[in-house]
Structure 1
Amino acid sequence: MTFMKNLAIYTLSFGLLFGLFWQLDWQQLSTSFQQTNLTLFFVAISFTCFSYLIHAMRWKVFFSEPGTDLFTILKTVVIGHMFNALLPSKSGELIRPLFLKRTTNISYSNILATCLIERVFDGLLILGCLGGGIVYLSAELIDTNTTIAAGLACLVLYSLVAGLLAATYYCQGPITNLLSKFLPDPVFKKVESIIIEFSQGTRRLNKLKSLKILLLSILYWLLNIGAVWFALMAIELPSDLQSFQISMLLVGTLGVSLAMPSAPANIGLFHFTVYSVLAVASGQTLGEDFTSNTNFVSASVIIHLAALIPDLLAGGASYFSFPKGKRAEVVQEGLS
């Protein structure tokens, strides 16, 4: 089952990548890369790096225990970003709590609950970016039925995550009572322990912390939009595609599409998403000859590199700062 799932994921990811690159004029693509403004490209990378600090500050709001100082949390955050780049389907989101667990006495389920709470705030802002970007584009450029379907799918996914958190927060007792009637006792005890720990994670949130997390989440996503904006300005593109609104649409669309299973570093899916948004925003159709859109493919590569390079460098430095035995145990546990 796992083999078939991975086969489908890699087939889709590399199929999308092949679809974008196979008809390209490689000489034109090389010229496009050579014309990249490196100053603006490195500004985009600096925005990405600064977003790590904001992400760590946001996650720190949940914790006050020993071993949860900001520097330690920052290290685990960038490790998570690195493993998102190295493993399929954003598996770094599951490994990040494991590293924090190793420096604290907090249970994995408890920490994982805080990550899901982060995703709820992120989901709200991602949908806002997506909606704001769509509103910016003229109605003639948008396939209404596709937009509505994508929006409904996002709302369903968002509602499921929010509903899970709300259920464990408000209905822990009824849920455990219901499960006790259907599960064998040994299984129920293990599940009950996970639910209790998960519920404790959701209860780390209060009104003041919620406000702090919301404000930090807004700043985090503004930095991501800024990184995409500067990456767009670093490339030879029409000026109307280098706007803040297009950057916001790209961030929103990527936030939705990259929630799907994909190959490591979201290869293929990332590039196809960026290409599609730029093509639609420019009034072109995806069926046109890709050779006329070399700059769009170039843009997808540059934007991806602006995110991938700091993920690998900062995450790698943080990962190797952990003792060899500890980091090997965490990775083995995360992959098992």
Structure 2
Amino acid sequence: MATDKPQEQKGFLRRNAAKLLASVIITAGIVFTLQKGGLTLVPEGGNFAHVNWLVIPAYLATLGVMSYFRAVRWRYLLRSFADVPRKRVLAVSWIGFAAILLMPFRIGEIVRPYMLREKGKISMSSATGTVVAERVVDGLYLSIVLAIALVFVPTIDPLPSRVVGLPISVAQVRTSGFVMLGVFTTAFVTIAVFYFARGWARRMTLAVFGLVSKKLGEKLADTAEKLANGLHFLGRGRDAGGFLVETTLYWGINAFGMWLLAWGCGVVHADGTPITFGEACALMGMLGCTILIPGPPGLLGVFQAGIYAGMTMYFPTDVVTGAGSAYVFLLYAIQLVWTIGSAAFFLVIDRSALKALAASPVLANDGSAEAADANEPPASLRVESR
């Protein structure tokens, strides 16, 4: 209809101009702050002097295995309403991970549910609910690991007052880890209550928020109910167990890979002893504090800030700015290339996936989630419903 044409003519850049502009400002601010503090995105050549280059292929192997489990565990969340082949889940997930990485403020999160939706079988809301559940469980899991590391893993003594290269106190960094635990615990409990006691949770939401606005209360309750549908796997013991096991493998291998690369880059303590696995878990958790929050494309600046914040608690400043900077650079560069390359692989071998990605709400001209539910995907993307 004529009234729809102006919206249909809006491309990706126009629809996301504000987010793109904000992401540019955030990136520029973080990069400027790092450089002002004596850190650069690309370290000097001398900082790579202690790198054992044989560790790079070994880290790539751990990254590949970690990425596999990160992707395929999604099938357990989908099984309550659809059987999706593991290969399909892997392809859609790796493409989706690249979209999340490259698009600002995590708007790429919509890509995975869009590429799996199918009229009458898998709705956008159902698939999106599983993605939200996965994100909340990841946040809770990671924040628990970080909290344990902050409590039990010894730090340098005395702790620096400020994070190396950043105008942030170490105390604020440590506090943010426990705040993260509180936020994701609250989020998980909220959607769990809506899943297990939906009627009561809805009444309470309407009673509390209805005092401000009945319409607001109804909207919040409806949204929470849709998101809670992603927890259907909790009612299926086999799926819940499988998801938690593969989530543990995902994060465990991730931490091991980060430890291996740091060891290979020569990240050591003042007495020359190498980084410990517990410290690698802390670095992974601090990185999670930053990248789980919406940020700029490629997580540029945000990624680096998270790792530097973690290293400040465990290593001398000269190590952080020397071998540590080489570690941060290689960790970021390898993950960036891997994420883009793995997505490109599936886009090349599966043309239907490329068409589905091009038509997704974040790239298509209309950008409406409703349109996604109204149209069927290419035949090769269809799955068996339950």
1:137 and 2:154 matched: yes
The answer to whether the Cα contact below 8 Å between 1:279 and 1:296 also exists between their aligned partners in 2 is: no
Structure 1 residue aligned with 2:346: 318
Partner of 2:87: 71
Matched, 1:39 2:54: yes
Give, in whole Å, the separation in 1 of the partners of 2:29 and 2:153.
31
Task: Summarize the Cα distance change of 1:192–1:278 in structure 2 as closer, same or farther, 3 Å threshold.
Answer: closer
1:304 corresponding residue in structure 2:
332
Offset at 1:196? Answer: 5.8
How many pairs align?
Answer: 328
Shift of 1:311: 0.5
Q: What residue number does 2:231 align with? A: 202
Deviations 1:105-147 (A, max 9, x none): 2112212222222233322331233123322123643778535
Q: How does 1:1-336 map to 2 (within 5 A)?
A: 6-21=20-35, 23=38, 29-33=44-48, 36-64=51-79, 68-102=84-118, 105-134=121-150, 135-138=152-155, 140-141=158-159, 145-146=171-172, 149-174=175-200, 178=206, 182-183=214-215, 197-206=226-235, 207-238=237-268, 240-284=273-317, 293-320=321-348, 321-323=350-352, 324-330=354-360, 331-332=362-363
Letter of the 2:313 counterpart: V
RMSD across aligned C-alpha pairs, in angstroms?
Answer: 3.6
User: AA paired with 1:233?
Assistant: W
Separation of aligned partners in 2, 1:172 and 1:269: 37
Q: Distance in 1 between matches of 2:226 and 2:106?
A: 23
Whole-Å separation in 2 of the counterparts to 1:258 and 1:153: 15
**Does the residue aligned with 2:363 lie in a helix, a strand or coil?**
helix
CA-to-partner distance for each residue in 1:68-117, whole Å, 9 max, x for gaps? 11000011111121112211233333322211225992112212222222
Stretches of structure 1 that go unaligned for 5 or more consecutive residues are 285-289
C-alpha contact (below 8 Å) 1:75/1:318 kept by paired residues:
yes
Contact 1:24 1:294 in 2 (8 A): no
1:24–1:291 contact (8 Å) kept in structure 2 = no
Asked if the contact 1:20/1:297 (under 8 Å) is kept, the reply is no
> Shift of the alpha carbon at 1:159?
2.8
| Runs (5+) with no aligned partner, structure 2 | 1-14, 162-169, 369-386
Report the CA distance shift for 1:107/1:279 in structure 2 as closer, same or farther (over 3 A).
same
Query: What SS class does the counterpart of residue 330 from structure 2 fall into?
Result: helix
Residue-by-residue CA offset, 1:226-256 (whole Å, 9 max, x unaligned): 2211221231332545321221111111111
- Aligned equivalents of 1:235, 1:155: Cα separation in 2: 30
Distance 2:290 2:41 in 1: 27
Compared with structure 1, are the counterparts of its residues 311 and 255 closer, same or farther at alpha carbon in structure 2 (3 Å cutoff)? same
Aligned equivalents of 2:311, 2:227: Cα separation in 1: 41
Letter in 2 for 1:201: G
Relative distance call for 1:119 and 1:292 in structure 2 (3 A) is: closer
Tell me the alpha carbon deviations over residues 299-329 of structure 1, each in whole angstroms, 9 at most, x when there is no partner: 2111112321211100122234242432211
SS of equivalent residue, structure 2 residue 292? coil
CA distance in 1 between partners of 2:40 and 2:31 (Å): 15
Q: Is the 8 A contact 1:114 1:202 kept in 2?
A: yes
Residues 46-89 of structure 1, C-alpha deviation per residue, up to 9 Å, x if partnerless? 21111122123321112346661100001111112111221123
| Residue pair 1:25, 1:291 contacting (<8 A) in 2 also | no
User: Corresponding residue for 1:287?
Assistant: none
CA distance in 2, matches of 1:124, 1:216: 15
- Determine if contact 1:80/1:93 at 8 Å carries over to the other structure: yes
Matched-pair contact (CA < 8 Å) for 1:241–1:281: no
TM score, norm. by length of structure 2: 0.72
Deviation at 1:7, TM superposition (A): 4.0
* Shift in alpha-carbon separation, 1:295–1:194, aligned structure 2, 3 A: same
Percent of aligned positions that are identical: 19
SS at match of 1:205: helix
